Amino acid sequence: MYRIIISIFLLASFSSSKAQMTVDASTPLKKLINAEQALFYLYVDSVDEQKTVEYAIRGMLKELDPHSTYSTPKEVEDMKTPLEGSFEGIGVQFNMIEDTLVVIQPTMNGPSERVGIVSGDRIVSVNDTAIAGVKMAQRDIMKRLRGKKGTTVKLGIIRRGVSGILDFIVTRDKIPVKSIDAFYMVRPDIGYIRIGNFGSTTHREFMEAVVTLQERGMKRLIIDLQDNGGGYLHTSSMIANEFLDAGDMIVYTEGRTIKRQDFRADGRGSLKQLPVVVLLNEFSASASEILAGALQDHDRAPIIGRRSFGKGLVQRPIEFSDGSMIRLTVAHYYTPTGRCIQKPYTKGQLKDYEMDIENRLKHGELTNPDSIHFDDSLKVLTLKRQRVVYGGGGIMPDEFVRLDTMQYTRFHRLIAAKSIVMNSALKYIDNNRKMLKRTYQSFDDFSANYEVPQSLIDEIISEAEKKGIRPSDDDELKRTIPYLRNQLKALTARDIWDLSEYFHIINEQNHIFQKGLEIIQADQYF
């Protein structure tokens, strides 16, 4: 009825003797509504009203802060999956090799494993529709494999050593999505846990990892938050709670219309005496900064690495009936000492904000601690030992680790960016999976004795040559090989075992990790 009345009003106005519209724009909201109605009913060409409204919403939000955003229903669905802790599907880890989906690992006790699907299987059809060799987008393949719990899907599979196509009927189920990327023992008494994001199950996963590591003899812990983009505040607070005393502030939030809300430890944490260090880099953001800031401010853990991203704005989800959503910034995060985590920004200037990391590199902040200067007004003291820490955006580490821009050569970066390394590794592992599993009965055996074959290195160099990518000279190639071998060994370990084994190997050349290990072994902060 409302639209009909507006339509009659607009059409009447348009056909008036003055041949122009006159609308009541006495309030900004009425002005916005009338503008949308004018476009829909009077514009010379047809208008997609849904898109027009979305453009208007995005336009409004664009003039605010960098983290107030609008998401379509599909974007909302994709965004929730890694944080909610599960999705519904067939339960396989896979990679695409030459337009064919190859199973890396079926989820343990998941729907695919239960019907007999194994590592190395190639899924070539879904419900009798070919998905291999037809240039189908990965998103479209995922749509066909995922579905509601209890529904069935027919998979056509090619298996090495078996002629023809094997048919499997898989009943979809809930598939867990883990937010703990890896955990393992670094030394006989030092454990390591890498948190990929803070989702609904992260605290439970974290404590399960802690228990496992304690059973293996852990007395000290490295928490790795490198590249952790954040997630749920309450989950980050739950993990901080495990390390802090009763009443200790974890974080507080405050905004123009949002009253201050304090998050404090309840004193029931089980890790209050455990020595811990935290690893951060320039891509650690939001919830990861809350955890790091709380432990730093209470002198509970030294922070190792580089200044974190600086995302300290609280978004409130505003959901619409079609499943779309606005995430509107309503408050700021503050660490226990009152430091605002959010780095400075200018409203509406998103490009400058997006260039921040690149600007840090240009200005030398990522490579040289002497280039980092703070105003005295940003100086604050930690709550227990009265150490100096700084505000001004992000979490500044206690121990700076410079970014080694020479660690990975130009040649290595190019062959990685063109997926030559990944594709060659996947083919090698796919062809040799049975041999590798038969030869190396344990990861310890693999870690100590496996060497990347020279033939794989030669193949990568040859593939690069075909794409016109060459090392600038013999010295660049010589500097590339050790890091390339380590990367290939880590990728092989990942596909035979899991991400824990991948990080066990890749961390050997991670400078932030190595500094964290040095600090926790030296006991200088404990």
Spatial separation of the C-alpha atoms in residues 252 and 335, rounded to whole Å: 7
Question: Which is the catalytic residue, given 236, 311, 489, 495?
Answer: 311
Per the annotation, the verdict on 224 as an active-site residue is no
Residue 509 has phi, psi (to 5 degrees) of -120, 20
Structural tokens at position 281: 């880099």
Helix 474-496 × helix 420-439 angle, to 10°? 50
Residue 193 has phi, psi (to 5 degrees) of -130, 125
What pairing do the DSSP bridges indicate for beta strands 129-130 and 180-187?
A: unpaired
The length of the chain in residues reads 526
Per the annotation, the verdict on 179 as an active-site residue is no
359 CB burial (10 A radius; 0-12, 13-18, 19+): exposed
Question: Which is the catalytic residue, given 297, 398, 430, 495?
Answer: 297
Per the annotation, the verdict on 311 as an active-site residue is yes
Question: Which is the catalytic residue, given 71, 119, 286, 324?
Answer: 286
Spatial separation of the C-alpha atoms in residues 2 and 401, rounded to whole Å: 61
Spatial separation of the C-alpha atoms in residues 112 and 103, rounded to whole Å: 10
Spatial separation of the C-alpha atoms in residues 203 and 295, rounded to whole Å: 16
Spatial separation of the C-alpha atoms in residues 158 and 404, rounded to whole Å: 44
3-state secondary structure 208-248: HHHHHHHHCCCCEEEEECCCCCCECHHHHHHHHHCCCCCCC
- Contact residues for 152 (Cβ-Cβ < 8 A; gap 6+): 169, 170, 171, 172
Q: Active-site residues: which are they?
A: 286, 297, 311
